[in-house]
Chain A
Amino acid sequence: MKPAQFEYLAPTTIDEAVALLHQYADDDGKVLAGGQSLVPLMNFRLAKPKWLVDINGIEALDYIREEGDWLAIGAITRERDVEKSALIAQHCPLLAEVSRWIGHVTIRNRGTLGGCIAHNDPTGEYPLAAMLLGAEVTAQGPNGSRTMPIQDFLITFLTTALEPNEVLTQVRFPKMAKITGWAFQEFARRHGDFAIVETGVMLTLDNGAVQDARIAIGGAAPVAFRATAGEDVLKGEKLTDELIAQAAEKAGEMTEPESDIHGSAEYRTHLAKVLTRRALKEAQGRAG
């Protein structure tokens, strides 16, 4: 398996990368980040970009830092670094946990947080975590840089708001409150496979009553989404097993899955309900 012919460009600054992309945007130019999705697609010749702009040499895009109530992560930060970061473990443990579900260690050593979010696979762990946490994405283009909430960035199946002449530069995540209970559940046939369905939840409790609840589901619609119908069942109510079951049911009803060789649409909806219920139960145990 070999890719079709392409020209390889290796800028060392963001401005240079943007200028190259701007020049080749209309002629099948494409950013290469960790290459863990793009390169297989190129080897299969499903993707045939003519110009490959490799951003791995841009050191300014590799960082994890605190910015007040946020954790800012540079686009080419490796998934393995996100998984191992002490800052992330302390302020955003959910992000560290979902990282462990991405492929295998060798993939996470190369794969990048920005690449995963820009690829926007419906089963991607980072798009789901970003939706759940309420992340913000920054992109730089020829006219400067813009920041948008994640729900405006992830449009649909493998499609984002990123223009062909823009580079995703940073994703920032709000720090999680210590009292927030959270959980992530994923089902795949083998560890490291693409998820069939995945669910993330966050719960804030006050004397056993739900102050705030968030549920996000991936793999059961063209793009990861917040299952607000399930969240609404929980808010303000006393958290019981019965309420959790009701919320999971409502959350699952919001799925719009497709049938394929890995499972039927009905199976995916069923999985979404089961995983949401398990995640809520787990998060309940962690909520302070």
Chain B
Amino acid sequence: MKLDGSYTFSAPRQLVWDTLQDPESLRKCIPGVETFDQVAPDEYQAKMKIGVASIKGNYSSKIRVFDKQEPSHYKLGIDANGTPGFVRGEGTFDLVEDGPDQTTVKWEADAQVGGLVAGVGQRMLGGVAKMTVGQLWKAVDGQIKERQAQ
């Protein structure tokens, strides 16, 4: 499954970068996150409950940040396993400076989804993914505003 999109923040690029690289911010932003632990530099382990309405699954996942080019580019690898199936994929994030106080994050991801959720949940995958990503960016936006207010 290929996904892409962009989100524009009213904040300088460095602040967006710092927020996206901060484990504490990420823990607060990832939808349905139950535990989020750093296991090595740029490596995290997380337990998440992802889904929509009554269709939710528990996943335990490994997340890896790599190919970092501060403050404009990084990649994210995810390997998640759960009761309804697995998700393995990679995302590329580019932070584009639109102005001194405006930054657009352009992202694209390619994920392999397998197991039950891919077989019988096919119709719902796109919708759930889009909703989850939307929640994530909104939460990041909230974190950035919080930092700006400080």
Contacts and interface: CB of A to CB of B under 8 A. Distances in A.
B120 A259 contact: no
Interface string B91-126: 000000000000000000000000011001111111
A47 B54 contact: yes
Interface stretch (A37-45, A89-97, A173-181): A37-45
Nearest to A41: B55
Contacts of B116: 44-46
Contacts of B128: 157
Given A44-B116, A46-B117, A258 B127 contact: yes
Nearest to B3: A258
B123 A260 contact: yes
A157 B131 contact: yes
B145 interface: no
**For the complex, would chain A's binding face be called helix, strand, loop or mixed by DSSP majority?**
loop
B127 A157 contact: yes
Interface in A110-168: 119, 122, 156-159
Contacts, number: 52
Nearest to A156: B131
Contacts of B131: 156-157, 159, 222
A158 B53 contact: yes
Interface string B17-32: 0000000000000000
Contact of A259 (B55, B124, B126): B126
Interface in A5-27: none
Contacts of A258: 126-127, 130
A201 B124 CA distance: 27
B55 A46 contact: yes
A262 B127 CA distance: 14
B123 A194 contact: yes
A157 B84 contact: no
Given A45-B116, A46-B55, A260 B130 contact: no
A157 B135 CA distance: 13
A42 B87 CA distance: 21
A49 interface: yes
A157 B55 CA distance: 12
B54 A222 contact: no
Interface string B126-150: 1110110000000000000000000
A222 B124 CA distance: 10
Contacts of B130: 157, 222, 258
A113 to B, nearest CB: 18
15 contacts: A28-B54, A41-B55, A46-B116, A46-B117, A47-B55, A49-B54, A119-B53, A157-B52, A157-B127, A158-B52, A159-B52, A194-B123, A222-B127, A260-B123, A262-B123
4 interchain residue pairs of minimum CB distance: A258-B126, A157-B127, A47-B54, A44-B120
